[in-house]
Amino acid sequence: MSTYSQKASVTSIDGITLSVFLSLLFIGWLMLTAVNYSDQESEVFSLIDALTSGNSFYYVVALGVFFIGLIVDYKFWNSFSWIIYGVGIFLLFAVLIFGNEVKGATSWFSLGGFSFQPSEFAKWTTILMLSSYLGLANVNIQSIRNLVIALGILAIPIFFIMLQPDAGSALVFTSLAIVFYRAGMNPLVFIVLFALIGVVIGSLLFGIQPMLPALILGGMLLLIFQQKQSTVFLGIWAVLVLFAIAFGRFVDLYIITLSLVALFLGFAAFTAMKQRIQPVVLTMLLTFSAIGIAFASDFGYNTILKPHQQDRINVWLHPDKCDPQGSLYNVNQSKTAIGSGGVLGKGFLEGTMTKLNYVPEQSTDFIFSTLGEEQGFIGALGVLILFFILLVRLTVLAERSKNDFIKYYGYGIAAILFFQVFVNIGMTMGIMPVIGIPLPFISKGGTALVIFSFMIGSMLRMDMDRNKR
C-alpha cells in the first residue's frame, strides 16, 4: 500500500513546471558556454573548454539539489523554518567579518576556488520563515502585532545585506510584499506604497520644483472626489492645472507652489466643514508625506549618494547626462548586441560581440545580451515566454494547495523570480537601473543557480503534498 501511494505521489509531479525549469537550465548552460567560447584557438578545444568550464559543475549541483528538494516532505521545512532562518541570518552576519570584498561589497565566502553568497541563501530562508509564520492558524496579518513581526522577518536580512553593502540584493526582498497581499493585507496599503515610489522616481526624473505643484494638485484632486458636487470642483481643479503649467514658465515655481498650498489648505478646511474630517486629515497627511518624500529623494540624490551611485540612476533616468564611454558604456553595448541579433539571431557561438567580449559583465548582469545577439528576437521572446509560464505555474501550484504555508511559499518564489527577471532584462535594455541582479537559471552565479533550483524542486514536492494539512 505504501509503495503504491509513493508511486502515485511521484506521478503527480507537475510536468509543465518541471519541463520549463529543465529548459531554462539547459538554455542557461548554453548561454554561459557561448560566453566562455572563443574561436581564437582551435574550435574543437575551445568548445570543449567552454562546455566543461566551472559553470557546468554548478549546473550538475543544481540538478542534485533540485532532486533533494523533490524528495523532502514540506513538513520538515515548515517545522525547522526558525532554525534555517537563523542560519541564514548568521551567515549574513558572518560574511561581514570573514567574507571577501568584491566590487566594493563584502558579500562572498571564498574557499578553495569556490564561492558562496549568503544573500542568495537568505532569499530562500526568508521565504521559508515568512511562509511558516503567516501560515500559522493564530496569525492574522490585519493584527498590528502580527504585521510588525512579519515585517521584522523581512527587515532583518535586508538590514544585514545593506551593511555589505549590496542594495540590489536587498531590493529583491521587497518583492516579498506580494506574500503580505496574499495573506490578506489591505490593498490600499500597496496602492499608497506604489504612489510614494512614483513620487521618488518622479522627483529624480523631473526634479523637485515641478513635483511640488503636481503633488499639491494631486492632493486637491483627492479632496474633490470626496465632494458631492465634484464635477464643479473638478472644473476648477482643471483651471488650476492649466494655470500652473502656463505661469510656471514665467513665474518661479515655488511662488506657484505656495499659492497652491494656500488654496489646498483652504479647500481642505471647506471640505472638512462639509464632510467628515477624518478623510480630509488622511488626504492632507498623504499629500504632505509625499512632499516630504520628494524633498528627501532630491536631498539624498544630490547630497548623500556618491558620484558612481548617481551615475547608476542617471543611466536609467538621465542617460543624456552620462559619459557614453563611462557609466553608459555597458548599457549601450548591451543594447547594440541585442539589436544586432535581429529577428533570428546570428546563431549559437556566432555572436561577434559576445565572443570578443564587447559587453562587460556579459556572463552575469548582461547575459541577456548574449541571448539576444545569438538567438535574436525569437529566441529572447521564447525565454520570456518560458519565464512567464513558470511564474503562472508557480501561482497555480500555490493556489491549489490547501495548506497556507505552501501557498505563501509558492508566492514568495514567484515574487522573487519575477522581480529578478524583470529588473535584469530591463537593465540590459536601459529601462531599469543597473543594480547587479542576475537572471535566474541563466546568469553566471553558482549560489543563485543552486538556490533557485532547490526552491523549484521543493515547490514541486509541496505541490505533490498539496492535499495534506
135 & 194 share domain: no
Last residue of a domain, one of 304, 338, 357: 304
Contact 283, 226 (CB under 8 A): yes
| The predicted structure's pLDDT at residue 2 | 41
Pairwise CA distance, residues 166 & 150, whole Å: 22
Exposure string (b/e) for 3-15, b if CB count within 10 Å is 16 or more? eeeeeeeeeeebe
Residues 340 and 300 in one domain: no
Residues 6+ apart with CB under 8 A from 334: 359, 362, 366, 368, 369, 427, 428, 429, 430
pLDDT for the residue numbered 11: 43
pLDDT at 229: 66
Q: Are residues 151 and 165 in the same domain?
A: yes
Give how far the C-alpha of residue 199 lies from the chain's centroid of Cα atoms, to the nearest Å: 19
Is 315 inside any structural domain? no
Enclosing domain of residue 238: 189-304
Question: How far does Cα 83 stand from its chain's mean position?
Answer: 26
C-alpha cell at 420: 529578478
Residue 356 confidence (pLDDT): 76
Distance, CA of 369 to CA of 340 (rounded, Å): 10
Q: Is position 317 within any domain?
A: no
Q: Under a CB-based contact definition with an 8 Å cutoff, are residues 140 and 146 in contact? A: yes
Within this chain, do residues 254 and 204 fall inside the same structural domain, yes or no? yes
Place of cell 515574487: 415
SS3 134: helix
Write out the E strands in 262-329.
none
Query: Within 13 Å and on the Cβ side, how many CA atoms surround 268?
Result: 24
- Amino acid occupying residue 104: G
113 and 152 in a common domain: yes
What phi, psi does 110 have (nearest 5°)? -125, 135
Tell me whether residue 266 is in a domain: yes
Give the Å distances, CA to CA, from 41 to 34, 47, 347: 15, 10, 19
Domain endpoint, select from 247, 271, 304: 304
Domain end residue (candidates: 304, 334, 366): 304
Is the domain of 56 the same as that of 150? Answer: yes
Mean pLDDT, 10 residues at a time, the chain of 469 residues: 41 87 93 75 52 71 93 91 95 91 80 83 96 92 92 95 88 93 88 88 88 87 76 76 71 76 84 79 89 91 82 84 81 89 88 80 85 92 96 95 93 96 91 87 89 96 78
Q: How many domains does the chain have?
A: 2
Q: Which three cell numbers stand for residue 349?
A: 557561438
Q: For cell 514567484, what's the residue? A: 414
Residue with cell 510584499: 177
Nearest C-alpha neighbor of 469 from the set 403, 387, 404, 410:
403
Q: What is the pLDDT of residue 108?
A: 83
- Type of residue at 347: G
Q: Are residues 180 and 215 in the same domain?
A: no
**Cβ neighbourhood burial of 213 (10 Å; 0-12, 13-18, 19+):** buried
Residue 108: burial class (beta carbons within 10 Å; 0-12, 13-18, 19+): middle
In this structure, what DSSP letter does residue 439 have?
P
Rg (CA), the chain: 26
- Provide CB contacts within 8 A for 72, sequence distance 6+: 458, 461
Residues 35 and 148 in one domain: yes
* d(C-alpha 269, C-alpha 281), whole Å: 10
Starting at the edge strand found earlier in the chain, the sheet holding 114-116 runs: 100-102, 105-111, 114-116
Q: Are residues 200 and 178 in the same domain?
A: no
Determine the pLDDT at residue 349: 82
- Tell how many helices (H) and how many strands (E) occur in the chain: 21, 3
The answer to whether position 469 is within a domain reads no
CA-to-CA distance for 292 and 189, rounded, in angstroms?
Answer: 18
418 inside domain: yes
For residue 431, the one-letter residue type is: I
Q: Are 364 and 438 in contact (CB under 8 A)?
A: yes
Cell numbers that stand for 430 in this block: 536601459
Tell me whether residue 312 is in a domain.
no
Same domain, 19 and 80: yes
Residues 381 and 405: their CA atoms lie apart, in Å, by 33
Please give the Cα distance from 253 to 60 (Å, whole number).
Answer: 61
Domain membership of residue 314 (yes or no) is no
pLDDT computed for residue 250 by the predictor: 62
Report the pLDDT value the prediction gives residue 244, as an integer from 0 to 100.
Answer: 75
Instruction: From 461, 451, 365, select the one nearest 413 (Cα to Cα).
Output: 451
Residues 410, 392: one domain?
yes
Q: Angle at the Cα of 365 (from 165 to 20), degrees rounded to 5?
A: 115
pLDDT at position 412:
96
pTM of the predicted protein model: 0.87
Q: How far is CA 66 from the centre of its chain?
A: 23
Do 162 and 40 share a structural domain?
yes
The Cα–Cα gap between 412 and 182 comes to 10
Q: Is 366 inside a domain boundary?
A: yes
158: closest CA among 130, 181, 198, 134? 130
